[in-house]
Structure 1
Amino acid sequence: MILQTGVDMVDVTELARMVELSGDAFLESSWTSTERLYCAGRTDRLASRWAAKEATMKALGQGVGQISPLEIEIAAVEGERPVLVLRGNAAARAHQLGLDTWSVSLTHEDRWALAFVVGVGSTDDEHR
């Protein structure tokens, strides 16, 4: 079994400042339209999703530049667990590592947002 983890914490206040300074360009380059719609301008929700994107990149052993934040999406329905969706280079890297099952946990409290991501796969080379 293969197990990869990543964790990241974001300062919600700092992220709010970045959104204010950069506006739509930053929002559109960092969160998918589905994420932006779900977050409805709530910086705490944006921050927890940014933390999840960073945590996923850590689990994949990659960084911004190698993987676009838009290739990692946190799909959510109010009251249900978030679901990690990978596309493009993020999905290719997960496949390369043999990771096919993902779990993501998000939280935010006051000034801080935190995400923990776990990727699991088989060591069976057939799947890679």
Structure 2
Amino acid sequence: MTVYTGIDIVEIARIKRAVERWGDRFVQRIYSPAEIALCAGRINSLAARWAAKEAVAKLLGVGMRGPGSSAHSVAFRDIETLTDDDGRPTVTLSGAARARARELHIESICISLSHDHGLAIAVAVASTSPAARRRMPW
């Protein structure tokens, strides 16, 4: 089994400024409709999900798509962080993020989100199956 990790921290004020400056244009470019509904305008929650997207991109070994993006990048909305019935954060991948996870033989991604004292943080951990390890060249 192989384990991949990613971590990100963001100032909540940074996300607040982006929302104030760009409004719905920013929010809809970064977050899925389900994420927008879940966060219900709570900047702390939006910031935590921003950090989650960055943390997952890091464990995938790619950047986030934006101006000057490369082939090794994913769109923000390719990584969606919602919650399960018990309130635990979940990650769903689509598009380039999903393709990259398949390349890495990632079987599952767990994520933890938190925000306090003006900061939001996310830690993401992904694992492959033991069988995937045998297929890797090293």
Fold conserved between structures, TM > 0.5: yes
| Other-structure match for 1:59 | 59
SS at 2:77 equivalent: helix
Instruction: Evaluate the alpha carbon distance shift between residue 44 and residue 54 of structure 1 in structure 2; reply closer, same or farther with a 3 A threshold.
Output: same
| Other-structure match for 1:47 | 47
SS at 2:74 equivalent: coil
User: Given residue 9 of structure 2, which amino acid in structure 1 is its aligned partner?
Assistant: M
SS at 1:54 equivalent: helix
Task: String of CA shifts for 1:37-76, please: whole Å, max 9, x gaps.
Answer: 0000000000000000000000000001210010000021
Aligned length: 126
Which TM-score applies when normalising by structure 2?
0.87
**1:10-49 alignment runs, 5 A limit:** 10-49=10-49
1:117 to 118, 124, 127: 124
| Deviation at residue 110 of structure 1 after TM alignment | 2.8
Which TM-score applies when normalising by structure 1?
0.93
For 1:124 and 1:105, the matched residues in 2 are separated by 29
| Deviation at residue 14 of structure 1 after TM alignment | 1.4
Contact 2:34 / 2:82 at 8 angstroms: preserved in 1? yes
Query: Is 2:98 the counterpart of 1:88?
Result: no
Contact 1:105 / 1:116 at 8 angstroms: preserved in 2? yes
| Other-structure match for 1:9 | 9
Contact 2:89 / 2:112 at 8 angstroms: preserved in 1? yes
For 2:36 and 2:120, the matched residues in 1 are separated by 16
Q: Rg bigger for which structure?
A: 2
Uncovered stretches (5+) of structure 1, i.e. residues with no partner = none
| Deviation at residue 77 of structure 1 after TM alignment | 4.7
For 2:113 and 2:85, the matched residues in 1 are separated by 13
| Deviation at residue 82 of structure 1 after TM alignment | 0.8
SS at 1:113 equivalent: strand
For 1:26 and 1:115, the matched residues in 2 are separated by 20
Uncovered stretches (5+) of structure 2, i.e. residues with no partner = 66-72
Contact 2:84 / 2:90 at 8 angstroms: preserved in 1? no
| Deviation at residue 100 of structure 1 after TM alignment | 1.1
